[in-house]
Structure formats: C-alpha cells, structure tokens
Chains A and B, each alone.
Chain A
C-alpha cells in the first residue's frame, strides 16, 4: 500500500451530510470483479448533474474530499473506499464518519480526518479557491491563509498509514507465531489441520 505522509492539493468542497455508501457507489457496481475503474461509479447519481463538482475541470485530480457529518453511513460495502481511491481521493475530511466506512478507508490507505464543524466550514470556504494541506506526521491541516487545525488519529492507524503498511502485510510479519500455532494444532487437533486433503 502507498504510504500517506502529506496530502496536498485542491480539495473537493462537497460538504453534504449523511452521505451513504449508496451515494458513494450505487449497488449495481457491486457485481464487479476488480477494484479498478470503480471511480466511474463514484457519486454516479450526483454526477448526472452536468455542473457537479466531481467532473469540473477545477477539481480534476483532487486528492482530498471535504464532507459533512456521518460520511459513509449505510451498508458495509468496501466498494465505497475502492471507488474513492480510484477517483484519486487520498484523504477525506469531515466532522464525523461511519465506523465501518472509516475502517474500510483505513484498510485501503485512505486517511480520514475528523475536525469540528466550524473548521470543516472554513476549509470548505478555502477549498473553493485554494489548496489544502494535510500533514499526517504532525496531525495538522493547514491552508495558505495561516489556518492550522490539529486532528486526532489512532496511533496504530497513523503508524500504518505513514509506513504504507497494510493489515495483511503486518500479519504476514507474524509468520513465526502463525507457524508455531499450526505446529501445535497439528499435534493437538490433527483433524482440523487436514482440511480438504483428507478426501
């Protein structure tokens, strides 16, 4: 997974509250077999409006999305995180996120930044004309206008994001412990270790 240290650039001033996963990626995109290309389905319904933010030249390739309260509520579909990633989003700033969405975002290397509503409002204002800067190392969001908003993040998640560690990679690093368990289990619960080869 790509390491996230700084996210810098134009931020899409979306701002909507209670954006559910159906809005982020409609259900008919769930029958895909790859994560790639889901960006085309991201915010599909909103993008039917020709003046939508996501397709405007101004915000093309923006790495940051600014949203309202409870972003990513609804179903647990991981496609929501994949769609944002495919759209080029590396960080989402909002006053709150659904737990499942922020978990899925993290697993896919997207940084979720929680800031109070007034600071989010200020960033929405700035984003209309200027870039926003997120410094994960120092846990702070800044703007060219001397705004400086500090944020909290779980230390484990921060460590993983900064170093581009994914959960699978971290567990693979525990290979010795897993192999030890397997050896012991082979002795004590031998039938469980056999699986489909017993046929």
Chain B
C-alpha cells in the first residue's frame, strides 16, 4: 500500500509524535536541547521549586554565549577576569551552578569548544539531520540547515523540555521556497536569505515551516545553508529546513557527538529517506530566480527592508500598504536616511562580523579575502570580528586570518553573541551606523539608538575598507 507522499517536515514530525490529541495538538519528542545563560535560569528555578528533575540530561547541552564579554576571559595566571556587569555575571554563575546540579554537560566560558549555541551544536555533531532541536533563542532554526527541525522556545517551554523532553505543539503549514539558477559573483548565502526576507516580508512565513529547495540551495555549502535557515524567523516562519544530502553527511561525519560505526550507516539511511517525496504537496510555494539576487543590504529596521547595494533608499510613499508607508517613514527617521539616497553613499562608523548567522570559518575566510592587503577607512571607528566558537577561532588563526583582520584594523575577539544584541559590552553607539553580519536590524538591537545595516561577511569587509556600504564586486 503506497502511503501518501510527505514533505521533509511531515516526515520529521511524524517520527517524533509521542501522542496525538483530538484537537490535533501533538506531544512531540525533543532530541536535542541547547541551553544558554539568559533564558534558562527561571526554568531551572522552577524545576528546583517543584522538586522536578531533568528527564534527559544527556540530550541537553549548556553553553554560555549571549552576555559573555568577548574580551579575554582568563588572565595570564588562568584566573577568571571578573565580568563587570553584575547581572551578566550572575546569569553566567547561575548556568555554571545549574548545569552540574541537574547533570547537564556544560561547555564553560573559556573552553575551546565554547561559542554561540547555534554554531556549537552543528560543530560538535550535537545537532543532527532529522532531529528535533530546541533552544531558548529565536534563531534556533539555524540547525535546519542540516535538515533538523529546530525552533526557538520561551522559558516556560525550556522548563517543559527539561522536565519532560517533549513539547505540546500544533503542526505548522508547509511552504517551499525554491531558489533556482546560479548566483552571480559576490552573491552569498546571506544575500540569498536577505533577498528572501524582502520577497516574503517579515510576516510572510507566519504559521509555516519553510523548506528551502532548488539548485541554489543544493549548491550552497553546509555553512551557507546554516546561514539561510538561521533567518527563517525573520520571515516569520516557525522553522527552516534544507534536505540533508551527501554534503550534509560529509559535514556531520566524525564530529564528537555524531553517530559512529553501525549507527552511522543506519543514520545515513534514515537521513536519506527524509527527502520530500515526489508528489508531496506544500501549502504554499514561492519561486525565486537567482538572477534577481544581488549583494543585498537593509535600509530600515526590519529584515524585510532589503535593497540591492546598487539601489537607493525607497520612498515610503512607494509602498502600497498604508501601514508599511508609516513603518517605512519611522524606519527612515530612525536610520537617518532620505528617500532616493544611494545605498553606496551611506557612511558607516562600525563594522561587526559575527553572530550565529555569519561567524563560521567560511564567513571569516570570505571577509578576510576582501580585507587582505587592505585597511579599514579612517571614518570606521570600530571594527570587530567575533568568531562563532573557540574552534572557529583556532582554525582561523591556523590559517592566518586573524592577522589579516588585525592588520586591516579589526579587533579579533573571543567567541560569543557580541554586538548581535545589546546585552553585553559590545554595543554600537547611539546614532552611529553599523554594517553588521547579524540577523536583526530592529530599533535598538545593537544598542540604544544604533543603526544597523545587515550584510554578508564579504560586504561587511567591503564596508570597512571603503567606509561606506559598498559593492563588494567593485573590490575584487
């Protein structure tokens, strides 16, 4: 009997249903849970108060990242350098207390493997294709780049997963975003996903899990796929997914927590079977032509506010929707931009290369390739590179990339979320602009009054060199 053709999402979902309720809600088993210092303290507190345990500490991994300073964490004698913000210090201390108390493996703030949760998970082989993965952070969809069903959760849900290893969920609708063709020179995974944000809008994926397909997605490296899936939430989707293939298997194999020996063969067979069946129907399909994607920048305060680097700041009146007109006006006011202004004339004072979107080794290589033999423009006051993990940092140093960055005038930092969010000391000053490889350009995201332009690593490097948002293709 032939079963109904299913999508990748439906197959992963079906494999994780513990119980199905009458109203369609399902109790879904969670295979991997990443925990960091900001959204977990109250969850652990609730467990303690109610005398509950962590059901599967072995499926849980704790890593501090959000508010750790990215400056040195140990002095020459190996002693911890105190964190000046008492609240950040307290959250870190809470994680360091809670993890051992509940039997959870903690990667410490100065361990070589420490980094941003979404960089560490795939790197350690903790995140696997076909797995359900959660974390108390909105960009958990990142792991979907490996073909995992991954999404962000709130603190109550963190507690729920810790105690039960499950979540009560309603199945999402499915959307296919198919990107076909060949990317032009200078166009990267980040440009692809920024372009998708522009096409779908910030709420276009609401209620959906998106599967990214097509030749462009297949041709991306695994790191590029992680970049694309990372921003699924920025078009409103619950999660993003990319079907695992040979590249995925090659990426996963041999990592510390990856399946081994007989398990490996079984795993690959299962992962291969997850691909969307021919004839499976998505609730919605959006097709994008690679030829339409240029190196892309944002002009406003929503990731949907994208434009090609060769373009200009739009006129709010040009939007059909009156509420979008109003939002655009407010955005331009906050961003200090005028309609018609050329994007390439916009000066930046800060450049941030990092975040779970773009802090892996290929990102650093791409930025370094542009920076090699060049230095940052005098008007760029602050330029930092924050590797996504200690292992990325070590690899970059082995390749001499750190020298390229420091010679270009960048600061070379310790791994963490850094200037992706204004929660640790790395902030963009009010009223100043930042070309940033992160994922959110919201009002105040990089610090109160900070003006963010989202770009790819190569474009961030180009901005550092020219002191303006710049077309990386002209620096080749």
Contact = CB atoms under 8 A, between A and B. Distances in A.
Interface of A: 30-35, 76, 78, 82, 104, 107-108, 167-169, 171-172, 174, 177-178, 181-182, 185, 189-192, 194-199
Contacts of A82: 42
A174 B154 contact: no
A192 B267 CA distance: 9
B164 A34 contact: no
18 contacts: A31-B423, A32-B87, A35-B46, A76-B154, A78-B42, A82-B42, A167-B156, A171-B163, A171-B166, A177-B19, A178-B18, A181-B18, A189-B270, A190-B263, A191-B259, A191-B263, A192-B128, A192-B130
Given A34-B41, A171-B168, A198-B257, A191 B160 contact: no
A31 B128 contact: no
Contacts of A197: 58
A174 B42 contact: no
Given A33-B91, A189-B15, A168 B270 contact: no
B257 A196 contact: yes
Contacts of B206: none
A31 B163 contact: no
B256 interface: yes
B42 A178 contact: no
A31 B66 CA distance: 11
Q: What is the size category of the interface that chain B forms with chain A?
A: 35 or more
A contacts with B: majority SS: helix
A141 to B, nearest CB: 27
Given A33-B42, A177-B27, A168 B159 contact: yes
B90 A178 contact: no
B67 A191 contact: no
Contacts of A35: 42, 45-46
A106 B163 CA distance: 19
Contacts of B163: 168, 171-172
Interface in B234-267: 256-257, 259-260, 263-264, 266-267
Interface in B84-131: 87-88, 90-91, 94, 105, 126, 128, 130-131
Nearest to B94: A33
Contacts of B257: 195-196, 198-199
B372 to A, nearest CB: 37
B156 A104 contact: yes
A93 to B, nearest CB: 23
B155 interface: yes
Contact of B29 (A107, A108, A185): A185
B88 to A, nearest CB: 7
A44 B152 CA distance: 29
Nearest to B164: A171
Given A178-B18, A191-B267, A199-B256, A31 B67 contact: yes
B56 interface: yes
Given A33-B41, A34-B41, A199-B256, A167 B168 contact: yes
B59 interface: yes
B32 interface: yes
A9 to B, nearest CB: 25
Nearest to B159: A168
A34 B88 CA distance: 13
B320 to A, nearest CB: 25
Contact of A192 (B31, B52, B91, B156): B31
List the 6 closest A-B pairs by CB distance, nearest first: A191-B259, A33-B41, A31-B87, A195-B58, A191-B263, A195-B59
A196 to B, nearest CB: 5
Nearest to A181: B18
B355 interface: no
A168 B52 contact: yes
Contacts of A185: 29
B45 A34 contact: yes
Contacts of B301: none
Nearest to A166: B50
B331 to A, nearest CB: 18
Interface in B8-28: 15, 18-19, 27
